[in-house]
Structure 1
Amino acid sequence: SLPNLYVFRSLDIATWDLECEFNNTDHRTELNGMDRLIVRRGQPFSIKLKLRYGEYQAGLSSLTCIAETGPSPSDQYGTRAVFDVAAGSDNPSAWSATVTSPPGNVVALSICPAADAPIGRWTLTLGGSCRIDFILLFNPWCSGDSVYMDNEEYLKEYVLSQDGIIYRGTLEQILPFPWNFGQFEYGILDVCLKILDTNPKYLRNPGKDCSGRRNPIYVSRVLSAMVNCNGDAGVVLGRWPALDKLSSDNPYEGGESPMSWKGSVDILLNWDSSSCSPVRYGQCWVFAAVACSVSRALGIPCRVVTNYISAHDTNRNLLIEYFYDENGRNHGRDMIWTFHCWVENWMTRPDLKPEYDGWQVVDPTPQEKSEGVYCCGPVSVKAVKEGELATKYDAPFVFAEVNADKVDYIRQADGSNKKMTSFTGVGQKISTKSVGNDRREDITHLYKYPEGSEEERETFRKADHLNKLLHRQESQGLKLAIEVAAEKRKGCDFDVIAVASNSTTSEKKCRLLFSSMAVSYTGVVKDNCGFKDLLNVELPPGGGERHGRDSPGP
C-alpha cells in the first residue's frame, strides 16, 4: 500500500478537457450548446486529464472522485457519491469511473452517473485538485432510468421535438394550434432548473428536495405546482374573464391574452428576468404547454393532451351538478369546459402495480388543491381507465374529467331542487399530436372503455360510479333533448329544437322554459340570447312535441 500512497500523493492534475462537443452530442443535449457539459444519467461521459508530472498506472495509482449536488450534499440523501477510479464497473445503480487510455501523462476517464441519481447541477471533484461542474438530466434512452422509453420515434417526438400542436376549439370543430416548446433554446434549461430551486419544498428543505429529484414522480408533481403561481412563485398567472367576472373592455390588462402566446420561450424567459414574478396571463393550454417544455428540457418524455367536454368536479362525487333558477342561471360550483388541456409524462410507477407504468396525467392548471397545493398528478392513465380511484395522485379528479355525469336540477319555489336531465357525454375525442406528423391522434381509448361495454360497467363499479349505472336502468318518463343544426357559422343564426317526449302511459302537461345563453369554454354562462316560456304543453302517452327557435350566431 505504501507505493500506492506515494503515487496518489504525487499525482497532480494540471489541466482537463470536458470534451463538451463529443459528450453533449453523445447524450443528445447538443442543442443546449457546446460551452458546458450537459449529460444524462446512467450513460458514461468522457473527460481527459493531463498530469503535471508522473503517470497514472492501473493498480499502482489511485484517484478518488466525489460527485455532489445541492447546497448541503449528503450521503444519506444520495446527493453525494464518493467512488474510486477502477478498471471497470457493472453496477448501474452506483456512480463509476474507469480509465480508458493506456498508462501515461494523459488520462482518459469514463464517468458514469448512477441511473437513479438526482437531476440538476452537479460538481465532480477528482483527486482534490480538479473541480468540474456539469448538469445531469433524466435519460429516457437508458434502460435503467425510470423514464426509459424504448421507441426512438417516440423519443424524437416527446423529448427532442421543439415544435408541436395543441388542440383547442370545440367537439364539433377541433382546431389545431402550432406551439413552439423551445426546450433547447438558449437559457431555457437554466430557467427550468431555477423553477426547481424556487419551489416551496426546496425552500423548506433543500437537501430532501434535491434528493427527491431522482424521481420523475416527485419532479412532475413539483412542476405541476410551479407552472401556475397559486400559492408559490410559479411561472404563469391564470385569468378567465368569465370565471373572474371581469369587464369585457380589457380583461387582460397588465399582461397578454392567453390566445396571443405562440410558444413557451418568452413565457419562461419573462418569468426568469422578472425575479420570478408570474407571467400574465395563461389558460389551460398555456399551463400545459409550459409544463411540456420544462418536462422535455429535463429529459422526461411529455405530450400535451386535450379533452373535449371536460368536467371539473369540485366535491369528488363524480357528478357535475348544475342548479338552475327559472331564468336559466346556474348556481352550482361544478363546471363542464368545452375543452381542457393537460400533459402526460412517461415514467415507471414503482409505487403502483406494474401495469400502471407509462403515461401519467399531470395537470398544471390550478383547479383544486391536492395535499394543500394547487397541483394535480401524476396519475396513471391506465389506472384512470380501470377506475382505480385510490391510486396516487388525484385519480378521482382526473377520472371525473373524462367520466363524470352532468345532472341538471331546477330550483323550485319552495327552495327544493328537482332533477330534470342527466348527460353522460363527458370526455370525448381526447386528442394529442401524432408521432412524426401533424395529424391528430385520438387517444380516448387509453382513458375509457367503449360505451356500454362490460369493461366499462366493471370500471364504474370499481369507481363506485353508481349514478351512471342507475341512470341507464331508470325509466326517464318525461325526457327533454336539444337538437342543434349541424351547420353553424359564426355571425349567422342557426336552428335549435327542443324535443319533449313522454314515455309513460298517461298524458302529461308541462311547462317548457326555453332559454339560450352564451357560454365560455370554461362553462361560465354569459348573456341571455333569447327566452321562450310555453305554458301547458300537452304530451300524449308515448308521444312528444318539438319546439324551436332561431338562435343568433356568435
Structure 2
Amino acid sequence: MASNADCVLRDVSNIDFHCEKNNQEHRTAEISTKRLIVRRGQTFHITVQFNRSQYNPDSDRFKLVAQTGPNPSETAGTKVLFSLSDSINKKRWSAVVGSSSRSRLSLNISSSPNAKIGRHSLVLQKITSDQTVSYLLGELILLFNPWCSEDEVFLSDDEQLQEYVLNEQGVIFTGCAEYIQSLPWNFGQFEEDILDICLKLLDNSPKHVKNPAKDCTRRNSPVHICRTVSAMVNCNDDNGILFGKWDDPYTDGVYPGKWNGSVTILRQWNNNGCQPVCYGQCWVFAAVACTVLRCLGIPTRVVTNFESAHDTNGNLLIESEYDDEGMELGRSEDSVWNFHVWVESWMARYDLRPGNDGWQALDPTPQEKSEGVYCCGPAPVKAIKEGETDIGYDVPFIFAEVNADCVTWVYSEKGKKMKVDTDTKHVGQKISTKCVGSDERDDITNNYKYPEGSDEERRIFEQADRRRVPLKPEKQLHLYLKTNDPIYNGANVKVFVVISNKNSVKRVCTLKISAMKKKYNRATRGKCIKNFQQEITVGPSEDKTVEMELSYTEYGEFLDKYNLIRLTALVIDGETKESAFTLKDISLINPNITIQVPGESVLSRKLKAEISFENILPVALTNCVFTLEGAGLIDGQMEIRVGKLNPGEMTTNEASFIPKKMGLKKLTVDFDSDKLKDVKGYINIDVQEGKI
C-alpha cells in the first residue's frame, strides 16, 4: 500500500469546524467563535467537503490523527490515531460519522478525558485500496473539562463551576483580621488573546525549554500544569510573568496596589518579549495564577489567610524580638504577614494515597523553594488540616502558615532576654474566599484547621511533630489594647491600654506604648510614628485604662495602600520585673468611591457611569485621577483627571463606554492622588441583550 506522507489539500474544498456552535457547547465561546476551542472528554462536530465526489462511503475507510507538541509520538501519547466507530467512547479519542455523501463527511469527535491540553493539529487519513492520503484539517485548542466526570478536574456543582471557571470578575480579601477589605479584581480569562498568552506561558517554562516533547507528554496532568503555573507567575527562576517587590521605590514599574486586573499584566508580559512585569505582591501573583488556571479549565479560587506565618526554618515557631520600648528589632527571618494570598485549584490526586482529592493550595508568591524552584503546591487542603506533612507538595510549609506558634522576646537595655508572650492562636485567622454567586466573604478556616484549643487540634499538633510549650503559672499582670472603631483615614486614633493587676498587692509599673509603620508582610524597623511612656500605679485586683491619641499629622506621611499601623504596649513591674506585652495591627478606612449606573445595561449600547468621591482627609489632595477598568466593558483602561480636591470637597464625574459582552461584569474604579493612593471601588453590571 502506498503512503502519502505529506498532507494534501487538493481533494478537500472546505473544512467547517462549526466554531460558534462547538464553542457554545464547550463553554468557550466567550474566548472566541472564530477558532475551535474545546474541552477534553466532550464531543464536537466538524464537516469535510470533498472535491469531485472523492468519498465513496462503501469502500473508503478513514482514520483521524490528533497530535500535539514537537515530534508527536504515539508512545508518548502526543499522537493519537483512531478509526471511525459505531459510537463515541467517552474514555478515549473516538469519532463517528454523523452524516455522509460522496462529497461530504460530517464527523462527531470526542477527545480523551485524559488528553494533553494545548494546541492540537487534526489530520484525516483516507484509506483506499491502493493508498493512504492525509488531509490536514486544521488546529484546535483543547482545555481541561470540569464538566466531564472522567476528567481529573471534574466538579459536580453547577454554581461552583460558574464561579470558579466561568466568572471573569472577583473579589480578593486583604487588610487585617479585624478590618477585612474587599479588593475588586478583573480576571479576564476569556479575553481572546489571554488563552494564547497562557499557552505561551507553559511553553516558556524551563522544563519545556529544556525538553519540549517530554513536557508536552505531562500536559494531561492538572498537577503538572498547576505546578508549572505556580513557578511561572513569578520570574525568580525563569522567564516568568511578575517581578516581586515589597519596598519602595516603585518608580521604574507599577506599584502592586495599582493593578485592577490580570489582563494588563499578561498582555504586558507577552508584548515585551516575556520580560517580567514590575511589580507584584502576593495578591497580584495569586490573581494572575487564578486567571491562567481558569482559562485552561481548572476550577480555581483566590484564598486569603489573615495573620499568615512565614516559617523559614521549619520549626513551627515564629519568634519576634522587641526592645524595651516596644520597637521590633527585625533580627528574625520569620514573620507573620497581616494577610497572605494564594489560590486553590480543584482536582483529583491520583498521584497520592486516597483521601486527598478536592481543593489543592497553590502559592505563586516566591517565598521558599520547592524541589529547587520558587513554587508551592499543589498541597491537598485535607492533608494540611490533618497535619500529613509527608504528602506532596509543600504541605509542611502551608501547615505552618496557618498553624505556627508565636513567641515574643523583649531585650532590656543590658541585653537581658525575656520571653513575654506565647500565642498559639494568633496565626491562621479568618481564612477567606469569595462566596459563590456573590461578593460576600466565605470563611473557610475550618477547611484548613480544627477549632483552636480543641482535642482534634492537639492531635494534629502531635502528628505534625509540633513543639509544645510547657505550662507556666498563670500570669498576674495582663495587658489589653483596643482602639475606637471604625477608624477613618484622616481622623484621630484613640488608643486604650487596659492594665489588669490580678495580684492582691498594688503595683508601680512603667507603661510604654509605641506606634510604628506596618507593612502587611512585616513590620518596618525604624519607622516609628509615636512613643508614649507613663509611670502608673495599679491597685490590687484593679483594671486601669490609659489613653493615647494619634493624629493624622503624626501618622499621615507613613501610610501606604493598606494604611496599617502596628501598636505595641509593654508594662513592667518596677519591683518584681514581671512584664506583659501585647500588640494590635490597625487598618485605617479610606473614603468610599460611589459608583452609579442608571438605566438598563444593554450590549453594544452606550452606558454611562457616575463616579463620586469625597476628600475626608484634613489636607488637600492634588493630581487626583480615576482609573476605570472592566473586562467586557472597557477595552484596556480609561482615565478621568480631576486635579485638586480640598478637605471636605466632593467631585462627581461621568464616564461613558460600550459593553462588548453580555452577563455579569465588574466595573472597577481606582483613585490616586499625591497623598491618597489606590483607593478601590467597584460595581457589578448585568449586561443584557438588546431587544429587537
TM-score (normalised: structure 2): 0.72
The answer on 1:427 being equivalent to 2:428 is: yes
Tell which deviates more after alignment, 380-389 or 35-44: 380-389
The separation in 1 between residues aligned to 2:473 and 2:200, in whole angstroms, is 58
Aligned pair partner of 1:290 in 277, 288, 291:
288
Q: Mind listing any 5+ residue stretches in structure 2 that lack a counterpart?
A: 2-7, 126-133, 556-692
**What is aligned with 2:350?**
350
2:455 matched residue in structure 1: 454
- Which residue in 1 is equivalent to 2:167? 161
Displacement of 1:552: 4.2
Q: Does the CA-based 8 Å contact 1:477-1:502 persist in structure 2?
A: no
Q: Does 1:140 align with 2:119?
A: no
Structure 1: any 5+ residue segments left out of the alignment? 3-8
The answer to whether 1:209 aligns with 2:208 is no
Partner Cα separation in structure 2 for residue 480 and residue 374 of structure 1: 42
- In the TM superposition, structure 1's runs of 4+ consecutive aligned residues that sit over 6 Å from their partners are 502-510, 537-545
Please identify which structure carries the higher helix content: 1
Q: Deviations over 1:332-371 (max 9, x none)?
A: 1111111111111111111224322111111111111111
Q: Map Cα deviations across residues 151-199 of structure 1 (whole Å, 9 max, x no partner).
A: 1111111111111111122222211122111111121100000000001
The one of 103, 112, 115 equivalent to 1:114 is 112
2: CA distance, partners of 1:181 / 1:425? 32
CA contact (8 A) 1:157 1:436 kept: yes
Identity across the alignment (%): 46
Secondary structure at the counterpart of residue 466 of structure 1: coil
1:236 aligned to 2:242?
Answer: yes
- Asked whether the 8 Å contact 2:235–2:276 carries over to 1, the reply is yes
Query: Structure 1 489/34 Cα, relative in aligned 2: closer, same or farther at 3 Å?
Result: closer
Shift of 1:516: 2.6
| Contact map agreement 2:322 2:411 (CA 8 A) in 1 | yes
2:531 is the alignment partner of 1:525: no
Give the C-alpha shift of residue 64 in structure 1: 2.0
User: C-alpha displacement at 1:508, in angstroms?
Assistant: 8.0
Residue 274 (structure 2) aligned to one of 273, 276, 293: 276
Q: Is the 8 A contact 1:300 1:345 kept in 2?
A: yes
Deviation at 1:490, TM superposition (A): 2.4
Amino acid at match of 1:197: D
CA 1:142–1:56 in 2, change beyond 3 Å: closer, same or farther? Answer: farther
SS at match of 1:308: strand
Give the number of aligned pairs. Answer: 533
The answer to whether the Cα contact below 8 Å between 2:88 and 2:110 also exists between their aligned partners in 1 is: no
Matched residue type, 2:157: N
Q: What is the CA distance between 1:545 and its match in structure 2?
A: 6.2
Name the SS for the 2:522 alignment partner: coil
- Preserved contact between residue 88 and residue 109 of structure 2 (Cα < 8 Å): no
Alpha-carbon distance in 1 for matches of 2:24, 2:56: 28
Of residues 254, 257, 263, the one that matches 2:255 is: 257
> Does the 8 Å CA contact 1:125/1:132 hold for their aligned counterparts?
yes
Match for residue 489 of structure 2? Answer: 490
Once structures 1 and 2 are overlaid, which stretch shifts more, 49-58 or 101-110?
49-58
Q: Contact 2:242–2:280 (CA<8 Å) still a contact in 1?
A: yes
Q: Assess if the C-alpha contact under 8 Å between 2:316 and 2:467 holds in 1.
A: no
Matched, 1:23 2:29: no
Residue deviations 1:283-322 (CA, integer Å, cap 9, x gap): 1111111111111110011111111111111111111111
| Distance in 2 separating the partners of 1:261 and 1:202 | 29
The C-alpha deviation readout for 1:181-230, integer Å capped at 9, x for no partner, is 11111211000000000011111111121111111111111111111111
Counterparts of 1:20 and 1:221, CA distance in 2 = 31
d(CA) in 2 for partners of 1:385, 1:465: 13
Give matches, 1:121-520, under 5 Å. 121-127=119-125, 128-241=134-247, 246=248, 251-327=249-325, 328=327, 329-411=329-411, 417-423=417-423, 424-467=425-468, 470=469, 473-477=471-475, 480-487=478-485, 488-499=487-498, 513-520=512-519
Shift of the alpha carbon at 1:497?
Answer: 4.2
- The verdict on how the C-alpha distance between 1:78 and 1:415 changes in structure 2, with shifts beyond 3 A counting, is farther
Are the equivalent residues in 2 in contact too, given 1:13–1:130 (CA < 8 A)? Answer: no
Q: Over aligned residues, Cα RMSD in angstroms?
A: 2.6
Given residue 226 of structure 2, which amino acid in structure 1 is its aligned partner? S
Partner SS for 2:227: helix
Contact 2:407/2:421 (8 A) holds in 1? yes
Residues 75-94 of structure 1: pairs in structure 2 closer than 5 A: 75-90=74-89, 92=91, 94=92
Secondary structure at 1:63 match in 2: strand
Is 1:480–1:498's contact at 8 Å kept on the other side of the alignment?
no
Q: Give a deviation string over 1:68-123, Cα, whole Å, max 9, x none.
A: 1111212232111122222234351x211221215543111111111111111111
Range that drifts further, 208-217 or 11-20? 11-20
C-alpha distance in 2, partners of 1:462/1:504?
Answer: 38
Aligned residue in 2 for 1:74: 73
> Offset at 1:274?
0.1
Query: Which of 102, 105, 111 is the matching residue for 2:103?
Result: 105
Structure 1's 410 and 152: CA in aligned 2 closer, same or farther, altered over 3 A? same
Q: Distance in 1 between matches of 2:76 and 2:143?
A: 18
Q: Tell me, in whole angstroms, the C-alpha distance in 2 between the residues paired with 1:399 and 1:507.
A: 44
Once residues 317 and 255 of structure 1 are traced to their aligned partners in structure 2, the CA distance between those partners, rounded to angstroms, is 36
Cα gap change, 1:78 to 1:508, in 2 (>3 Å)? farther
Q: What's the secondary structure of 1:525's corresponding residue?
A: strand
Please give the secondary structure, in 2, of the residue aligned with 1:129: strand
Q: Tell me the distance in 2 between the aligned counterparts of 1:30 and 1:485.
A: 52
Distance of 2:512 and 2:313 partners within structure 1: 29
Give, in whole Å, the separation in 2 of the partners of 1:148 and 1:164: 22
Structure 2 CA distance for partners of 1:506 and 1:389, relative to 1, 3 Å: farther
Contact persistence 1:323–1:417 (CA under 8 A):
no
Q: Which amino acid aligns with 2:177?
A: L
Q: Please tell me the residue identity of whatever aligns with 1:74.
A: S
Post-superposition offset of 1:131 = 3.4
Cα deviation code 1:514-545 (max 9, x no counterpart): 4332211112225112334567x788887776
Q: Output the TM-score relative to the length of structure 1.
A: 0.90
Task: Give 3-state SS (helix, strand or coil) of 2:84's partner.
Answer: strand
CA distance in 2, matches of 1:223, 1:479: 50
Flag the 1:32–1:466 CA change in 2: closer, same or farther, 3 A: same
- Greater share of residues in strand: 2
Q: Which amino acid aligns with 1:294?
A: V
- C-alpha distance 465-545 of structure 1, shift in aligned 2 (>3 A): farther
Q: Structure 2 vs 1, CA of residues 324 and 330 (structure 1 numbering), >3 Å: closer, same or farther?
A: farther
- Classify the secondary structure of the residue corresponding to 1:355: coil
Code of the residue aligned with 1:395 in structure 2: it is V
Structure-1 separation of matches of 2:551 and 2:447: 38
Verify the 8 A CA contact 1:482 1:496 in the aligned structure 2. Answer: no
Q: Distance in 2 between matches of 1:371 and 1:132?
A: 39
How many angstroms apart in 1 are the aligned matches of 2:73 and 2:545? 74
Q: Determine if contact 1:349/1:356 at 8 Å carries over to the other structure.
A: yes
Q: Read off the aligned partner of 2:73 and give its amino acid letter.
A: S
